Chains A and B, each alone.
Chain A
Amino acid sequence: MTKIITDVVCPFCGTLCDDLEVAVSDDGEEILEVYNACAIGATKFLHSQAKDRITRPRMKQEDGSWKEVTYDDAVDYTANLLVDAKKPLMYGWSSTSCPAQGVGSEIGEEVCACMDNTATVCHGSTLIAVQDVGVPSATLGEIANRADRVVFWGGCNPAHAHPRHMSRYSIFPRGFFTGKGSKSRKMIVVDPRKTDTAKMADVHLQLEQGRDYELLSAIRVAIRGEELPDFVAGIPKEEIYETAETLKSGRFTVIFFGMGVTHSLGKNHNIDIAIMVTRDLNDYTKAAIVAMRGGHYNVTGSGQVWGGWQFGFPFCLDLTRGFARYNPGDSSSNDLLVRDEVDAVFVLGSDPPGAHFPVRSVKKIAQLPSVCIDPHITPPTSAVSKMHVPVAFVGVEVGGCAYRMDNVPIETRKVVEPPEGMLTDEEFLQKVLDRVRELKGGQHNHDRVSHQKWFCLRLFRGGLTETKWMSLSKTARSSMQAMSQSRPSLMPLA
């Protein structure tokens, strides 16, 4: 007999499909089959069942071989690595739950780390653009029910990267105002390749690679009915006028965009202007723009935990002065690594250091003391790390909150037990935090950072009073004054 667990949330991409069904053995210990998931999601569930899975931490020996160690040893190694480092990099945080990210942030505060998540190689440009110009957005539910003009811009290829996005939210669902499903919608794809998504589209604008800014600018011109040159980014002006008209004539237009714009030259400026196109369209109809986030299912949550809850900045955090600073290009992981500015590397909930960072950065990681916390069998990061700590798969072996690409929080579900004795990442992080505090002998940075948070709150509510300011400790005041030097307009008293 098998048991079917329903309404399971898929912990692969930022679409966070919440309609999976998983067949487990009668004793609830083994996953037998996964229904409704895409090929990638199903593989992730089944990977957790691999017979050759590593279930205990292991330390790399001089000769390159691995030696199994206990979780206590791994906790001790990790805590010492972080405490001994002058400027550790704590990277990843995107394939884990928000509570684990919260504990990780406490460790980062204690050891004055640089913290960064996978947005730094994904939608970091988007986060910068949103800070520049804001964002008119919508949830995927609104889009499923209302959107009748759907644009996938710039390397946005959901047929491969978010395989159920089109069937659940953007193209095929029969929504309240989109009762005819895909027939209710015009689909436009802008991509330098004829992707599998582009092959489904009503219109495919095959622009020259890296010319997104020019084409978006041309669409703004066309929306206003002004003159265009004969070709922009390799696209004839007639097609640009036609596209602008299609976008204006819809009842609800949504632009999804992907790595083609965030990774190409221009970076955040490409997204600035995509957002401005959306703004312009709102003069004619309702329009929204949504980043196709989530090659890791909870990269959005990581930005929420840091940006919305803990520090005010969604990635590229520099806590080395005891309070949060943010300066992409300076406090971003690839720049820190290439410039030799960090002296230890901690990776959790991602594998980009092994697989998705440019090799120049990976080489730097290989030269530093490092720990890799990852449930997969042999993640490439472990090839360059000194310690590999396997943990339970979030969303398969332990639940926890994650944020969908449209910033909607969804609680993932536990389906089976992790291998016996295996810790979850939250449990492991909590042990590391306790050990870090022991090693530091009660000298917490906690007070300074808490004061900073309180200070930020006060700023939003209208500023500090003289009495409150004087009641703060000298350390807290000096950290705030340091902050005021970088953002004087926010400092009412200094």
Chain B
Amino acid sequence: MAAIQINLISGRTIQQGVSMEGGKEKLAYRDACGILELDDAEFKRLGCFKNTNVRVSSEFGSVVVKAIGATQGPHPGLGWIPMGPWANAVVDPNTYSTGMPTFKGTPVTVEVAEEETVLDAIALITEECL
């Protein structure tokens, strides 16, 4: 199966907000934020069905998330991971002297990773940092 290049953006979704306030350690938070929203055309390029686990990689990191159909689309050429530890594993941290990391517009590679699992928030941060 192919690896595709897309432009990654992130931000709030109401599911992210609700599950965050419900508890970031819970699986509901992972299910709301450990996802990558793609257009149908991107699934065709990727050669997989919706709800398949994929590995998203950039020059800044790599993370496994579940690829789902765009809920607020179409958005050609764009991938969307809700704000949270999964998006932050791959976003561009450079601030260019403004203090603000470049959270939107990170070029990433997406490839199918059916055998890999999407970690919950605490496990992901623990694995990355400790």
The residues of A with any CB-CB pair to B shorter than 8 Å are 12, 38-40, 43-44, 47, 50, 64, 120-121, 124-125, 128, 155, 157, 159-161, 163, 192-196, 198, 206, 209-210, 258-260, 262-265, 267-268, 295, 315-316, 328-335, 338, 351, 354-363, 365-366, 376-380, 383-384
Contacts and interface: CB of A to CB of B under 8 A. Distances in A.
A43 B22 contact: yes
Contact of B25 (A206, A359, A360, A378): A378
Given A193-B72, A194-B74, A328 B24 contact: no
Judged by DSSP, the binding face of B is loop
Nearest to A295: B12
B73 A209 contact: no
B14 A163 contact: yes
Contacts of A354: 24, 85, 121, 125
Q: Which of A259, A315, A361, A363 has the most CB of B within 10 A?
A: A259
A157 B72 CA distance: 11
B7 interface: yes
A332 B98 CA distance: 8
Nearest to B72: A195
Interface in B94-130: 95-105, 121-122, 125-126, 128-130
Contacts of B121: 354-355, 380, 383
Interface string B74-106: 110110100111001101110111111111110
A218 to B, nearest CB: 19
A259 B122 contact: no
Contacts of A356: 83-84, 88
Contacts of A47: 21-23
B51 interface: no
Contacts of B91: 358
Contact of B99 (A124, A264, A295): A124
B99 to A, nearest CB: 3
B100 A380 contact: no
25 contacts: A12-B17, A39-B14, A39-B18, A125-B98, A155-B104, A159-B14, A160-B12, A161-B12, A194-B72, A194-B74, A206-B75, A209-B9, A263-B102, A328-B99, A335-B95, A335-B99, A354-B121, A355-B121, A359-B128, A362-B129, A377-B25, A380-B24, A380-B85, A383-B126, A383-B130
Interface of B: 7, 9, 11-14, 17-18, 20-25, 60-61, 70, 72-75, 77-78, 80, 83-85, 88-89, 91-93, 95-105, 121-122, 125-126, 128-130
Which 4 pairs between the two chains have the least Cβ-Cβ distance?
A332-B99, A329-B97, A358-B93, A328-B99
A384 B103 contact: no
Given A194-B75, A328-B98, A354-B125, 11 more contacts: A39-B17, A121-B100, A160-B12, A160-B13, A328-B100, A332-B95, A334-B99, A355-B83, A355-B121, A358-B93, A383-B130
A44 B75 contact: no
Contacts of B130: 64, 366, 383-384
Q: Which of B92, B97, B121, B125 has the most CB of A within 10 A?
A: B125
A63 B22 CA distance: 28
Contacts of B104: 155, 209-210, 259-260, 263-264
Nearest to A41: B21
Nearest to B84: A355
Contacts of A355: 20, 24, 83-85, 88, 121
A40 B11 contact: no
Given A39-B18, A193-B72, A380 B125 contact: yes
A361 B100 CA distance: 12
B75 A379 contact: no
Given A295-B12, A362-B125, A263 B88 contact: no
B78 A193 contact: yes
A180 B80 CA distance: 36
B129 A363 contact: yes
A443 to B, nearest CB: 31
A272 to B, nearest CB: 12
Given A210-B104, A380-B122, A384-B125, A193 B73 contact: yes
Contact of A366 (B17, B83, B102, B129): B129
A134 to B, nearest CB: 19
Given A192-B75, A194-B73, A366-B129, A263 B103 contact: yes
Given A50-B23, A195-B72, A120 B99 contact: yes
B74 to A, nearest CB: 6
A267 B102 CA distance: 8
Contacts of B99: 120, 124, 315-316, 328-329, 331-335
B72 A124 contact: no
A40 B125 contact: no
A334 B101 contact: yes
A43 B105 contact: no
Contacts of A155: 9, 11, 104
A40 B23 contact: no
Contacts of A335: 95, 99
